[in-house]
Amino acid sequence: MTQQPFSRPGAIDLSALKRPAPPAPTSASSAPGAAAAPASSSAYAVHADEQNFQSLLEASMTAPVLLVFHSVSRVPESGQLARDMETLADEFEGRFLVGLVDIDAVPAIAQAMQIPSVPLVIAVVDGRPMPLFQEVAPLDQLRTALTQVVQQLTAQGITGRHQPRSAAPEGHEDEGPAVDPRYAAAQDALADGDIERAVAEYQRLVDANPADAEAAAGLVMAQLLQRTQGVDLHAARAAAAAAPDDIDAQVMVADLDMLGGHVDDAFARLVELVRRTSGDDRNRVRDHLVGLFGAVGNDDPRVLRGRQNLASALF
Q: 178-229, pLDDT tens digit by residue? A: 456 788 888 888 877 888 999 999 999 989 888 787 888 888 888 988 888 8
Segment 30-34 shows an average pLDDT of: 34
CA distance 241 to 253: 10
Q: Strand, coil or helix: what is 36?
A: coil
Buried b (16+ CB within 10 A) or exposed e, 199-231: bebbbebbeeeeebebbbbbbbbbbbbeebeee
CA distance 66 to 301: 22
pLDDT at 155 over 90: no
- Compute the Cα dihedral for 93, 96, 102, 105 and give only its sign: positive
Looking at domain 15-167, its CATH superfamily turns out to be Glutaredoxin (3.40.30.10)
Q: Which of 19-33, 70-84, 120-134, 199-213 has the lowest mean pLDDT?
A: 19-33
CA distance 163 to 181: 10
Stretch(es) of the chain classified as CATH 1.25.40: 233-315
Region for 178 from its dihedrals, namely left if φ exceeds 0, alpha if ψ lies in -120 to 50, beta otherwise: beta
CATH 1.20.140 holds for 233-315: no
DSSP codes, 100-111: EEETTT-HHHHH
Closest CA to 35 of 50, 19, 54, 20: 50
Q: At what angle do helices 77-91 and 139-155 cross, to 10 degrees?
A: 50
CA distance 93 to 104: 29
What is the residue-averaged pLDDT of the chain? 80
Q: Strand, coil or helix: what is 122?
A: strand
Model confidence, pTM: 0.48
CA distance 129 to 152: 15
**Helix (H), strand (E) at residue 99:** strand 97-102
Closest CA to 12 of 117, 156, 130: 130
Reported as a pLDDT band with limits 50, 70 and 90, residue 112 is confident
Give the pLDDT score at 40.
60
Please count the other Cβ atoms lying within 10 Å of the Cβ belonging to residue 264.
14
Closest CA to 30 of 139, 118, 109, 105: 105
Higher pLDDT, 54 or 97: 97
Q: At what angle do helices 279-296 and 301-314 cross, to 10 degrees?
A: 170
Segment 10-19 shows an average pLDDT of: 37
CA distance 73 to 88: 23
Stretch(es) of the chain classified as CATH 3.40.30.10: 15-167
